[in-house]
């Protein structure tokens, strides 16, 4: 059966949304590696109900997101951050993306695996670590532009490149000195040789009609 013009338009808008979100998450990776967090914040909605759940705690509202990236991480344009960046090389990729756009075309949800590494230097000596994580995120369309609305970053492991990651202690919530004092509502999964991998950290999003049907579940 042939599609109607309205059905074709809606299908096009869903494909356009997926492509724009893929590009946005790609920019996120490039901006974070270069510590261009002022530019990264432009990808976010400025709503008061934004959520950013990092491994060490939760930030709420756009101001909370801004605090995380400009106060707790910094931007390369800041003298103190520029000094800290000497020898710094963090790279977090986004792979195996699954994106679902709401039937009403107002929101979208996506999740990614994020293999990466973090390299630091002190007194001219470099220390490299593998740093793997996962991401679940909600997006919202504002005036025809897709923005990050809510996000959770799930830590998987961080270990020196020459050490088996199962030989390092489980993640204990600390990653950097932050101003965040809001604990996560849902606990962090850590690998246990006697345990099972969780089915929902994160669960790939499924088709949905409106955001009210799903809510923030990451």
pLDDT digit string, tens, across residues 74-97: 999 999 999 999 999 999 999 999
Instruction: Report the DSSP pairing between strands 145-160 and 51-54.
Output: parallel
CATH code of the domain in which 9 resides: 3.10.450.50
Residues in the chain: 218
Count up the domains in the chain and report the number. Answer: 1
The residue range of the domain holding 111 is: 5-213
User: Nearest Cα to 203, choosing from 61, 100, 105, 71?
Assistant: 100
pLDDT digit string, tens, across residues 125-152: 899 999 999 999 999 999 999 999 999 9
Single pTM value for the model: 0.93
Residue 218 lies in a domain: no
H or E element, residue 29 = helix 5-33
| Each residue's pLDDT tens digit, 8-50 | 999 999 999 999 999 999 999 999 999 999 999 999 999 999 9
Answer yes or no: is 67 within a domain: yes
Q: Residue for token digits 């246990």?
A: 192
Percentage, residues of the chain above pLDDT 70: 97
């Amino acid at each position: 059966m042939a599609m109607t013009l309205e059905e074709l338009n809606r299908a096009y808008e869903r494909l356009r949304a997926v492509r724009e979100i893929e590009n946005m998450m790609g920019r996120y990776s490039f901006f974070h590696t270069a510590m261009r967090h002022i530019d990264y914040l432009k990808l976010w909605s400025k709503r008061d109900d934004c959520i950013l759940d990092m491994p060490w705690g939760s930030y709420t509202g756009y101001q909370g997101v801004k605090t995380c990236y400009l106060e707790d991480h910094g931007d390369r344009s800041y003298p103190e951050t520029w000094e800290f960046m000497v020898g710094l090389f963090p790279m977090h990729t986004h792979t195996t993306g699954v994106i679902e756009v709401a039937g009403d075309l107002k929101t979208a949800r996506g999740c990614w695996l994020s293999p990466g590494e973090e390299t630091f230097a002190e007194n001219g000596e470099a220390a490299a670590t593998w740093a793997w994580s996962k991401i679940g995120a909600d997006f919202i369309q504002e005036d025809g532009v897709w923005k990050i609305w809510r996000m959770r970053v799930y830590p998987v492991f961080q270990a020196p490149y020459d050490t088996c990651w199962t030989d390092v202690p489980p993640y204990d919530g600390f990653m950097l000195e932050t101003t965040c004092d809001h604990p996560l509502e849902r606990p962090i999964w850590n690998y246990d040789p006697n345990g099972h991998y969780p089915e929902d950290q994160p669960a790939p999003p499924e088709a949905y009609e409106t955001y009210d049907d799903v809510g923030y579940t990451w």
